[in-house]
Amino acid sequence: MTSTTTDILQEAAAWVEWSSRVGAAEPRALADFEAWMAKSPAHREAYADLAALWRSEALVEAAAAVAARPRRRWRGFMRIGAPVGLALASAMMAVIFAPIFQFQTFETGRGEMRRLQLADGSTAHLSGAARVHIRQGLLGRTVVLDQGEAFFDVNKDGRPFEVQTDEARVQVLGTAFNVDRLASGRVELSVYRGAVSFRARGGPSEELGRGERASVDNGLLLVATPFDPLDGPDWMGGWFDASDASLAELVEKLDRFSERPITLANPQLGERRISGRFQISEPDKVMSVMAAAYGVRITEVGGRIVISDSEPQ
Amino acid sequence: METANPPPEFSRVAYDTHESRAQWEAVREVVRRFARRRLGRADLADDIAQETLLRVIDYGRANTIDNLYALALRIAANLVNEHLRRERRRGEDELTDDLASAQPWPDQVVEGREAVRALAAALERMPPLRREIIIRRRVRQQSCAAIAREMGLSPKAVEKHVTRGMIDLNKAFRTRRRDGSRLS
């Protein structure tokens, strides 16, 4: 059996990681490592290359520079302007004096992502064009997701933590999960760590664990196929993975990342089925792909981008 | 005294059987490749590989070696870093003393800058969680266990992110090289 270059590289990365971690190596792993290195020159070369990269000063320098770079949230902060800035500043003061209470509304603009540090130490990452109301009180913690998508990493502190939309409820104790409220009212939930209880308004609740996802649509809760929870939500890396999604769904996600609003010329067009992996953080790129692949026309009308059928009307 | 001829201890300890000879050659090759990648110079890499093997053998006389490759790369990394420090000091001196004689130095800087830029861009493209883990590991020198604890992840998940991050960075680095050669 021969292994491919990709396999070798992946195994080499795991061994370099292992070497960087274990001081006094476990004998069994050490024997495995030596056996692996003895396989072929290609194995040893891959190990040497990755070790050189991992130990390079260039990597430390690059990582330090990236760590020091302000994230997008600060840019968004400026854009919203002084009133919100002042409100936030006073809220921060409030946080210092009463770290467990928080009553605030946050909004992101199109194309903006923002990471919120909540009073209880939990974090919420907001995708573009999202709005949340945070309510943290003595008895509970609530986030109302009006629109858009958010990834939550929740600290356990004894108080229940609930995410609400008009259509659905997610209740948690200490976990990481993503909630997407689509314009249609459909709510999609993916659990990355821990477990949550999910229910449609007035419906029975369903317990969902790590790697599980479900949606609420028209009052109906549907559990979907599991996913790999290792990477965090696609949108945080700027991607949308569509398998048999509607064009309307893709357009909605693109719209969140676009400086100019993107709309469909007619609703029937939005029902078209699409599949693929789209880099939604680059709406222009995706739209040129769409034009070629789905035969749609992209036009700009008065600062809006309109997607229409390519046949002349 | 030339380093090309191994001293008597070296031949006695290391080159006594056919297998150990092959194993030492494999270690030498790994060290040479590691050093060449980091310094971009084959002649220096040969010297560092030779010096590393001598030091490994020296170390082995007084200590038991459990992970031969890890020890060799640790020693090689120290030699590489020493060399880079010397180089930088010399570069600074030359830049202040005589700009004209420092001609090769800015080239190296440009090459290094480019690598840093490519790696930084790859880090920016990563999922935020993975980027955070790489930064904690390489910049803040945190252990995987500490990162797992602070970020509420399993140690396995942290290891997996580091491994995948390494692959991402390697890809960016290699792409840069190809682009570089096409442009010139």
**ipTM value of the model?**
0.80
B42 and B89 share one domain:
yes
For chain A, how long is the longest CA-to-CA vector? 73
pLDDT band at A16 (very low <50, low <70, confident <90, very high): very high
B83 and B121 share one domain:
no
User: Fold for domain A238-309?
Assistant: Phage tail protein beta-alpha-beta fold (3.55.50)
Lowest mean pLDDT among A171-185, A298-312, B91-105: B91-105
Amino acid (1-letter code) at residue A200: A
pLDDT band at B46 (very low <50, low <70, confident <90, very high): very high
B14 and B97 share one domain:
yes
B37 and B10 share one domain:
yes
Mean pLDDT of A191-214: 85
pLDDT digits (tens, 9 = 90+) for A265-303: 888 888 888 887 888 888 888 888 888 777 888 888 888
* Residue A275 · residue A250 · CB < 8 Å: no
* Residue A212 · residue A253 · CB < 8 Å: no
**Residues in A touching B22 (Cβ below 8 Å):** none
* pLDDT at residue number B115: 82
Q: Where are the domain boundaries for CATH 3.55.50.30 in chain A?
A: 238-309
B80 and B19 share one domain:
yes
How close B85 comes to chain A (CA, Å)?
11
DSSP letters for A156-209: P-SS-EEEE-SSEEEEESS-EEEEEE-TTS-EEEEEEESEEEEEETTS-EEEEE
B83 and B8 share one domain:
yes
* Residue A100 · residue A64 · CB < 8 Å: no
Distance CA A53, CA A176 (A): 32
User: Fold for domain A72-223?
Assistant: Jelly Rolls (2.60.120)
How close A13 comes to chain B (CA, Å)?
5
Distance CA B145, CA B149 (A): 6
* pLDDT at residue number A276: 79
pLDDT digits (tens, 9 = 90+) for B65-86: 778 898 899 999 999 988 888 8
B53 and B115 share one domain:
no
B19 and B98 share one domain:
yes
**Percent of all residues in chain A with a pLDDT value above 90, rounded to a whole number:** 11
Considering only residues B158 and B8, tell me which one the structure prediction assigns the higher pLDDT.
B158
B31 and B76 share one domain:
yes
Task: Tally A–B CB contacts below 8 A.
Answer: 140
How close A281 comes to chain B (CA, Å)?
11
Q: How high is the mean pLDDT of chain A? A: 80
Distance CA A191, CA A230 (A): 11
B12 has pLDDT over 50: no
Nearest of A153, A158, A83 to residue A124 by alpha carbon: A153
Q: Where are the domain boundaries for CATH 2.60.120.1440 in chain A?
A: 72-223
Distance CA A9, CA A16 (A): 10
DSSP letters for A113-161: -EEEE-TTS-EEEE-TT-EEEEEE-SS-EEEEEEEEEEEEEPPP-SS-E
Residues 26 to 55 of B: which have CB under 8 A from any A CB?
26, 29-31, 33-35, 37-38
pLDDT band at B101 (very low <50, low <70, confident <90, very high): very low
Angle at A169 between CA A163 and CA A173, to 5 degrees: 55
* pLDDT at residue number B184: 20
* Residue A118 · residue A106 · CB < 8 Å: no
* pLDDT at residue number A71: 53
Phi, psi of A2 (to 5 degrees): -105, 145
B169 and B82 share one domain:
no
B98 and B67 share one domain:
yes
Full domain range(s) for residue B116: 103-184
* pLDDT at residue number A23: 58
Task: Count the domains in chain B.
Answer: 2
Q: Which of B24, B166, B171, B177 to mutate to test the interface with A (most CBs of A within 10 A)?
A: B166
Mean pLDDT of B107-111: 49
CA A51 → CA A13, A128, A138, B23, distances in Å?
A: 8, 38, 50, 19
Nearest of B2, B21, B6, B1 to residue B54 by alpha carbon: B6
Coarse DSSP helix, strand, coil percentages of chain A, rounded to the nearest 5 percent: 35, 35, 30
Distance of CA B175 to the CA centre of its chain: 19
Mean pLDDT of B1-8: 43
CATH number at B178 reads 1.10.10.10
* Residue B33 · residue A49 · CB < 8 Å: yes
* pLDDT at residue number B158: 92
